[in-house]
A and B are shown apart, each in its own frame.
Chain A
Amino acid sequence: MATLIERVPPMRWTAGLLRRLGLHGRGLVIAVPFLWLLVFFLVPFLVVGKISVSEALIARPPYAPLLEWDGWRLNIIVNIENFRYLWTDSLYINAYFFSIQVAFVSAVIALLIGYPMAYFIARSPEPRRTFLLMMVILPFWTSFLLRVYAWQGFLRSNGVINNTLISMGIIDTPIQMLQTNFAVYLGIVYTYLPFMILPLYANLVKLEESLLEASADLGGRPMATFFYVTLPLSLPGIIGGFMLVFIPAIGEFVIPELLGGPDTLMIGRVLWNEFFSNRDWPVASAVAIAMLVAVVVPIMILRSLQARLTEEK
């Protein structure tokens, strides 16, 4: 390989240039993923930050430039109006707190449904355990969008649930279920349930049977054993599953859009609407920056705390 690089002049020059920049061997291997993420992950946020403080224009692209040459004067126009607007219009603050509420409640419900399932699977004998685990993983690999669509068919006023209830004579008129907040909670619990079950399973399957037997031998009733032995030991699994549901649910767009009503405003949907419906790029960018500060940064801190906690154990 070295001979090829030495023989072809352009390759030799490139190699020489890279070496002079300190990029050879080890450095080059680090540089490839590093530069990709720098350009396509970190730099975009600087661009978002820049556009969040520019003024909206009816133009292509629809925002005013930050730097302007006016003869020999350089004008830097920083417009923090967008952020003042987010702070004063209650819609954004409400959407933020509502998103956190929905994500939190959904994660708790997913935990209540997922825990017994994970426990049962973890305690099952071998062929059945693999089969049940596969049954949990399978919906996770099928399209997320199509699973949300399936609930539309279930919940609409002439949908499966209403039709069944009417034909059984339980209700006369269909219940409004689609386009409600209830449908949003249901949709989130449904789509993220596998993310709750898998970390719980991974934790519970390692639980020593002997600990449960010891507790029973010492006179612990099943309930006491569960609350004093199983539950505390499975805490890392609970936290892991909770985070896997809570974090993506906050920024969710598809579920509130397809299952929620027009007033189910979650922060991800607000950003989407600012961008696609109002075509207001600067306000959409300001929402993104606010989300980054108010959602992503706390989550990153929480995650590093969680990682430190598990390392200590």
Chain B
Amino acid sequence: MMRGGWTLPVLCVLGFVFLYAPILSLVIFSFNASQLVTVWGGFSTRWYGELMRDTQILGAAWISLQVAFFSATIAVALGTLAAFVLMRFGRFRTRALLTGMVTAPLVMPEVITGLSLLLLFVSMEQLIGWPAGRGMTTVTIAHVTFCMAFVAVVVQSRLAGMDNSLEEAAMDLGARPVRVFFDITLPVIAPALVAGWLLAFTLSLDDLVIASFVTGPGASTLPMVIFSKVRLGVSPVVNALATLIILAVAIGVAIATWHIHRRMKEARKD
């Protein structure tokens, strides 16, 4: 039963217009022949050609993809361990501190995380000579640190919803804890690991502030290059890039939704 007549659907539609109008205009003006991003000068795919020749953007995109891949993978490993320890290990001495350190990055302003990690890297270089200079390694370390908190939250909620009796049964049958983890726990929480990996990958790919602090010469990430272009004024090449990113995300989200839908149908049949 819908209540409230027409008001609610209208408000909802207006909300979606608000969410999608700017995105739509980005896409439309990426096909604009004119240099001016907001005045229509006829249809053209010129900016896509220029994007493909823009070595600065392509190079930064490659760096960002590598950083995002490694950050997400390490963050999933560490975040899963943190979540598992907090959910299954009961009491231990450093528990309160670990809980605090896992949740704090979620509310930490990016400028603080970025500045503090940069100052750490500089001090470490002075003290022990590592990391020598800053670049992809330091960006990856920084991204792992803030992404693993998000992974830990996702995995923790999955572990909370998981039936403990499976793990207990395996233990009773004499399986060692490591074996129980890899044979029972991991397969059950696998969807959360995939979700956590995708979330970490996106967060890393999207990060401007932290990367700006901790990176060094020659390792500008894609958001940093976009930011410097956007700051100088509108650039149709950025519109073309945005359109490709939106397309990729839309395809990804559509596949994920279809997958979830199919699984739900199968679950109902069973």
Contact = CB atoms under 8 A, between A and B. Distances in A.
Given A116-B12, A143-B206, A296 B116 contact: no
A305 interface: no
Given A143-B206, A288-B112, A291-B112, A30 B85 contact: yes
Contact of A40 (B12, B120, B223): B120
Contacts of B122: 61
Given A212-B3, A288-B111, A275 B117 contact: no
Interface string B6-23: 011101100110111111
Interface in A38-69: 38, 40-45, 47-48, 51, 61
A127 to B, nearest CB: 8
Contacts of B103: 300, 303
B173 interface: no
A150 B12 contact: no
A303 B20 CA distance: 32
A121 B107 CA distance: 28
Given A300-B107, A303-B107, A150 B119 contact: no
A296 B231 CA distance: 29
A111 B178 CA distance: 46
A163 B226 contact: no
B110 A138 contact: no
B98 A147 contact: no
Contacts of A143: 205-206, 223, 226, 242, 245
B38 A163 contact: yes
A209 B1 contact: yes
Interface residues of B, number: 88
Contact of A268 (B20, B102, B109): B109
A258 B229 CA distance: 11
Contacts of B82: 33, 37
A139 interface: yes
A184 interface: no
Contacts of A159: 38
Given A40-B145, A145-B227, A30 B234 contact: no
A132 B58 CA distance: 34
Nearest to B4: A222
A296 B119 CA distance: 19
Interface string B112-137: 10011101101100100000000000
B98 A120 contact: no
A292 B112 CA distance: 8
B95 to A, nearest CB: 9
Contacts of A130: 257, 260-261
B57 interface: no
Nearest to B207: A144
A69 B11 CA distance: 68
Contacts of A209: 1
B81 to A, nearest CB: 5
Contacts of A227: none
B15 A268 contact: no
A128 to B, nearest CB: 11
A300 B104 CA distance: 7
A214 interface: no
B232 to A, nearest CB: 12
A113 B22 CA distance: 17
A136 interface: yes
A146 B26 contact: yes
Given A143-B242, A193-B19, A44 B116 contact: yes
A142 B39 contact: no
B109 A291 contact: yes
B146 to A, nearest CB: 9
A36 interface: yes
A34 B98 contact: yes
B141 A153 contact: no
A43 B238 CA distance: 38
A248 to B, nearest CB: 8
A268 to B, nearest CB: 5
A117 interface: yes
A154 interface: yes
Given A253-B110, A300-B104, A150 B23 contact: yes
A258 B234 CA distance: 11
6 contacts: A135-B16, A139-B19, A152-B234, A153-B22, A158-B36, A163-B39
Interface of B: 1-4, 7-9, 11-12, 15-16, 18-23, 25-26, 29, 36-39, 78-79, 81-82, 84-85, 89, 92, 94, 97-98, 100-105, 107-112, 115-117, 119-120, 122-123, 126, 141-142, 144-145, 148, 177-178, 202, 205-206, 208-209, 212-213, 223, 226-227, 230-231, 234, 238, 241-242, 245-246, 249-250, 252-254, 257, 260-261
Given A141-B202, A276-B212, 9 more contacts: A37-B98, A44-B119, A143-B205, A143-B242, A149-B26, A150-B26, A160-B25, A251-B111, A303-B103
Task: Sort A-B residue pairs by CB-CB distance and give the 5 closest, nearest first.
Answer: A251-B109, A44-B116, A150-B22, A33-B82, A37-B101
